[in-house]
Structure 1
Amino acid sequence: MLELSPESPLERREKEAINKQYLSLKTLYSPASIKLLSYWLMGVCILAFIVLFLPWQQNIRAMGELTALSPQDRPQIIPSPIDGRVDKWLVQEGSYVEEGEVLVVVSEIKDKFFDPKLIQRKEEVIGAKEDAIKAKKKKIDIYNQQIQLLRNGLALKLRQNENKILQQTFKVESDSLAWMAGIVDFENAERQYYSNQILYDSGLVPLTYLEASKSKRMKAEAKILVQQKKLDVSRNERKILGLENNAIQVSVLDKIAKIESEQTAAIAEMAEAEGSLIKLRNELSNLKIRAEYKNVRAPQNGYIINAKKSGVGETVKLGSPLLTFMPDKPSLAVALEVDAKDVPFIGKNRHVRLQFEGWPAMQFDGRPDIAVGTFGGEIKVIDSVIGKNGKFRVLVTPDPLEMNEAWPSELRMGLGVKAWILLDEVPTWFEIWRQLNGFPPKQKSKDEAPKMAKKG
């Protein structure tokens, strides 16, 4: 019954008397506990109705492990750089080493590298080859000098011969003038002879005078013949001197050709020697590098995780693993495995909440702002190709907006991680309706990456 006004003591006693007298009224009476329960149920319904309109953060769950963002920061196997035998271990498991520090000493097992002075002997061979090349170069220079001398001598001889030809030309001209003068003298003697013959026939001159002119005429004719022969000889000598130019050139050029042939052979030998020298220097460089490979060094600062080989004297092959190395201060990242159906709803710079194994945490789905013990991150890389396990790999790095709550410094590679990739906010009733119908999460923009408010 509803009490609309306060009851007086008298009315209360009368009411109790009536209730005791009439059993049916007593049966209809509601206990106080039932009233309290109805109040609670009504409050719960009102609260549930209010909750239906509160914002809900959609998310995608994923599992993964801790790794490094850069490949050079991830654990690596240090192999043996040569075929050899383990001589000495200079580190222990768990040791911190610096870049370039010697970890293992390996000795040679191939017979061609046994000689301890192999590098020195190779340097001596290279020195001898260099001396041989210098001698070849000197020989080639001498050939060049000989060729130059022959060319200079050829030019000199040709100039000398040209001078002789010029002199002989002058002689030919002189003989020609003498020959022409002889002809003039002969013609004068002949005219004088014929004149004297007429005078003799007329009886004006004696016979002796005629004979004298005849003798003079014959001497002039003989002189012409002599001058003609001298002129022919001079002309022949000039021709011979002209032919000597070709003979001089042929003789000298033949000598130059022979020297150039020897020079070409010397150049070929020097080129072959230089090729051999390059090969020897390459072998020397390889020997020096191989000698350095006997000392297996740390590629960077880091820690020795575990040795793959044990003991001293064990034979190892090229590329055989010697030990596992972990770089110091890696750039940490979380490698998550995301189902293919969820990849279209995530993008780079999406916010992620992370729970690391060993760190107690409490995450409330839909309310990341009240999570406890989780750490923030953002998606840095999404693989373009699906993995062998049928899932896509997603790399998550620390959130730069949460530097005051950085990831714990005690984290180690391979640590298990549970992640919630946060999507868009929707009303709670929408999320319940979506889950019941199996619809995908609501997505405003694939390129957007909203940053969530800092967790409380």
Structure 2
Amino acid sequence: MLNITKNRLNRDVDLRQFESGRLVIHQRYYKHFNRFLLAFAGIAVIILFLPWTQTVSGTGYLTTLRPDQRPQTVQSPIPGRIEKWHVREGDFVLAGDTILVMSEVKDEYFDPQLVDRTRQQIDAKSRSVGSYQEKVRALENQVAALGQEQALKLEQTRNKLMQARLKVKSDSIDLEAARTGISIAQRQYDRTSTLEEEGLKAVTDVEEKRLKLQEAQAKLISAENKLLASKNEVLNARMEVGRIQAEYQDKVAKAQSELFTAQSAQFDTEAQVTKLENQFTNYERRRELNVIRAPQAGYVNKALQAGIGQTFKEGEQLVSIMPASVDLAVEAYISPIDLPLIHVGEKFRIQFDGWPAIVFSGWPNISFGTYGGVVVAIETYISPNGKYRILIAPDPDDHPWPDKIRVGSGANSLALLEDVPIWFEVWRQLNGFPPNYYTPERSAAGLSGKNQP
């Protein structure tokens, strides 16, 4: 029995004379075992021809479809010092609820009446703008009055000039009349002198004609003097027109210079008012920023700053908030070799961490504890972990996801691809081939519809 000797006991002793030997050593034992092997082989062959759903697995975690529903931190846009907390970790807050109150740490904002005093400066500058506007209006009226006065003066002087020209014409006529008179008086005098020499006229007649000749000569000289005086009046009127134009141009230029100076001061003051209004708005907005409020409804996860009197810089994180209402999705990562097999609208089965599940990757219909999902987005650039990121939303045709799952928990996903026999899947796995490349019917229909004219 222990093979200590080379003598075979079964050759010398018949074991079937014992009860145990009769029960074990018989020819029918091998017959039943062979039948078992044959049945097992038949069942195995049948199983190899059963349908098997190819899958692509991915790991990831729960996230949200919309970026504004993901966990966020509340930052302060200005530096400050914590004065009072109004929430605790785990509290539910609505949009606009006060989280904490802070105070200023910069000395230029220490004045509690900074906003009111800035408003007073704006009012004073606004009144100054009004004064400049009145001054501008008065100077504009002055310029207009000077223009009207200049027009009247010029018209009056031009009238004088016209009168002087007419007087020149009148004096010219008088001069011509005096010349004609002296010519007549000279002829009369000559004729009377000749007649007196002949004895036909008396001496008194000659003297009378000589007197008239002298009077005509006096009138001629007087007419010439008057003509020259009239011409001088014309020159004086012309000079007066030029003087009035120069005088009023100087006055108008001076008034316009003062007008432009007043307008410049007005515009400068208006710019100062605008700058002060900008500062006033900034101060009001900064005062509102001293109260940190919840951007949306959610739960306070963690206070990242603690204590009373603690200071922080602008942009520093103060508290973390998880939105209350979210549209959940699974952020899964798949290998680059499996990326061509994933399409938008692809069906997935998802197993969440903490939720017991029995998963049969090839037979999703008999899996238990998994939930349906649909691919809504596929990242076109590889992630730092060497895989591609996809977003899986709840399948509206499947039962809803559990209410108690939380953003950030892990999730395993299975993409349901083509149905193949089990023997083909075993052969593929043994050779390390990827799943069959295929295009879903909905994608193929969409592509064919686009290619139609």
Provide the TM-score with structure 2 as the length reference. Answer: 0.88
Runs of 5+ consecutive residues of structure 1 not aligned to the other structure: 1-19, 21-26, 452-456
The reply on whether 1:125 has 2:118 as its aligned counterpart is no
Question: CA offsets, 1:87-141, max 9 Å, x none?
Answer: 1111111111100010101111222222211111111111111111111111111
Structure 1 residues 259 and 446: alpha-carbon distance in aligned structure 2, compared to 1, 3 A threshold: farther
Hey, what's the Cα distance between the residues in 2 that align with 1:40 and 1:194? 186
Write the distance in 2 (CA, Å) between the matches of 1:28 and 1:91. Answer: 84
Q: 1:155, 1:430 → 2: CA distance?
A: 111
Determine whether 1:440 maps to 2:434: yes
Deviation for aligned residue 1:449: 5.2
**Equivalent residue for 1:48?**
44
1:230 to 226, 230, 246: 226
2:408 corresponds in structure 1 to: 414
Q: Deviations over 1:168-198 (max 9, x none)?
A: 2222222122112212212221221222122
In structure 2, the CA distance between the partners of 1:446 and 1:214, relative to structure 1 (3 Å rule), is farther
- What is the Cα deviation at residue 66 of structure 1? 0.4
For 1:176-187, what aligned pairs fall within 5 Å after superposition?
176-187=172-183
Structure 1 length normalisation: TM-score? Answer: 0.88
Matches within 5 A, 1:270-285: 270-285=266-281
Select between 291-300 and 79-88 the one with higher mean Cα deviation: 79-88
Which of these residues, 243, 246, 253, is aligned with residue 250 of structure 1? 246
Contact 1:351/1:376, CA 8 A, preserved across alignment: yes
Cα distance in structure 1, aligned partners of 2:49 and 2:241 = 119
Q: Which deviations, in whole Å up to 9, do the C-alpha atoms of 1:42-88 show, x marking residues without a partner?
A: 33333333333333221111110001111111111112332221111
Q: Distance in 1 between matches of 2:179 and 2:330?
A: 126
CA contact (8 A) 2:341 2:438 kept: no
Instruction: State the one-letter code of the partner of 1:259.
Output: A
Structure 1 counterpart of 2:203, one-letter code: L
2: CA distance between counterparts of 1:399 and 1:148? 82
Matched ranges for 1:69-80 at <5 A: 69-80=65-76
Name the amino acid aligned to 2:52.
W
- Whether contact under 8 Å (1:65, 1:336) holds in the other structure is yes
Aligned to 1:92: 88
Residues 428, 48 of structure 1: alpha-carbon distance in 2 compared, 3 angstrom cutoff: same
Aligned equivalents of 1:120 and 1:137: distance in 2? 26
Matched, 1:430 2:424: yes
2:64 partner letter:
A
Work out the CA distance in 2 between the residues paired with 1:430 and 1:153. Answer: 112
Distance in 1 (CA, whole Å) between partners of 2:52 and 2:442 is 18
- Is the contact between residue 375 and residue 392 of structure 2 (CA under 8 Å) also seen in structure 1? yes
Q: Secondary structure at the match of 1:425?
A: strand
Question: Which amino acid is 2:263 matched to?
Answer: I
d(CA) in 2 for partners of 1:447 and 1:35? 52
Number of aligned positions between the proteins: 424
The reply on whether 1:137 has 2:133 as its aligned counterpart is yes
Partners of 2:32 and 2:270 lie apart in 1 by 107
Cα distance, 1:289 vs structure 2: 0.9
Aligned to 1:116: 112
Q: Output the CA distance in 2 between the equivalents of 1:28 and 1:305.
A: 75
How far, CA to CA, are the matches of 2:266 and 2:280 in structure 1? 20
Counterpart of 2:251 in 1: which secondary structure? helix
Task: Please tell me whether the aligned partners of residues 340 and 437 of structure 2 are also in contact (alpha carbons under 8 angstroms).
Answer: no
User: Which of 300, 316, 324 is matched with 1:320 structurally?
Assistant: 316
Cα deviation for residue 445 of structure 1 reads 2.8
Counterpart check, 1:59 vs 2:55: yes
1:339 to 2:335 alignment: yes
Q: Give the aligned CA root-mean-square deviation in angstroms.
A: 2.3
> Structure 1 CA distance, aligned partners of 2:40 and 2:275?
90
Asked whether 1:265 is paired with 2:297, we answer no
Using the TM superposition, give the Cα deviation of residue 35 of structure 1 relative to its aligned residue in structure 2, in angstroms.
Answer: 4.1
Query: Separation in 2 of the partners of 1:450 and 1:185?
Result: 128
Q: In 2, Cα distance between the equivalents of 1:189 and 1:110?
A: 112
User: SS at 1:109's partner residue?
Assistant: coil
Contact 1:381 1:396 in 2 (8 A): yes
- Which sits farther off after the overlay, 277-286 or 262-271? 262-271
| Structure 1 Cα separation of the partners of residues 340 and 403 of structure 2 | 33
Matches within 5 A, 1:367-382: 367-382=363-378
